[in-house]
Amino acid sequence: MDASTIDQAGPKLAELVGSLLGCEVVAEPSTQNSGTRPHAVAIYVTEEGTLRAALVCDSAIVNYAGAALTMMPAGTAQENQKKGIVPEMMFENLHEILNICSQLFQENYTSSVKLHEMYDTSTKAPPQPIPMFLQKAPGRLSLTVDIEDYGSGEMMVIMS
């Protein structure tokens, strides 16, 4: 994996998620490290089961993207975020979005890459070797992702 691959992840993510949600999504490099306060960790593996990539999302991404997928009023999602609430339905909706996001990784590996599992880190930590992969994988990009009308949150793209 070269530096340009990870650098292109932000624009590709914004385009993919924006087309899925039917609204403008902007993903820009961030100095924030969403890995320090993740709420959702999506793990992507090859057909052989090799861990290749992860998307790490904070609670704002879970609330805003999850709500936008089902056209829930932005005010409801913003209120949930303000109160620190992440409804299970928002987590399930994000799972659908991040399943589609496996397309981000297809061109980087000779084997197909798919969403293997998504962890709600507020209730359960991912098992090893996932935490080690999240810390050691060479390709990482922190992003601030703004979802039109809903708000912004932090994501991290991690690739081996």
The domain locations on the chain are: 3-159
Distance CA 78, CA 127 (A): 31
pLDDT at 153: 96
Distance CA 128, CA 113 (A): 20
Interval 129-149 mean pLDDT: 94
Interval 34-49 mean pLDDT: 85
The angle formed by the CA atoms of residues 123, 148 and 4, to the nearest 5 degrees, is 80
Contact criterion met (CB below 8 Å) for 23 and 149: yes
Range with the lowest mean pLDDT among 32-36, 45-49, 67-71, 88-92? 32-36
Range with the lowest mean pLDDT among 27-36, 45-54, 64-73, 117-126? 27-36
Interval 33-37 mean pLDDT: 60
pLDDT at 108: 67
Tokens of 1: 């994996």
DSSP 8-state class, residue 3: H
Which CATH number is 3-159's, of 3.40.50.1370, 1.20.1600.10, 3.40.1550.10, 3.40.50.300?
A: 3.40.1550.10
pLDDT > 70? residue 109: no
pLDDT > 70? residue 51: yes
Interval 126-150 mean pLDDT: 94
If pLDDT is split at 50, 70 and 90, which confidence band does 32 have? Answer: confident
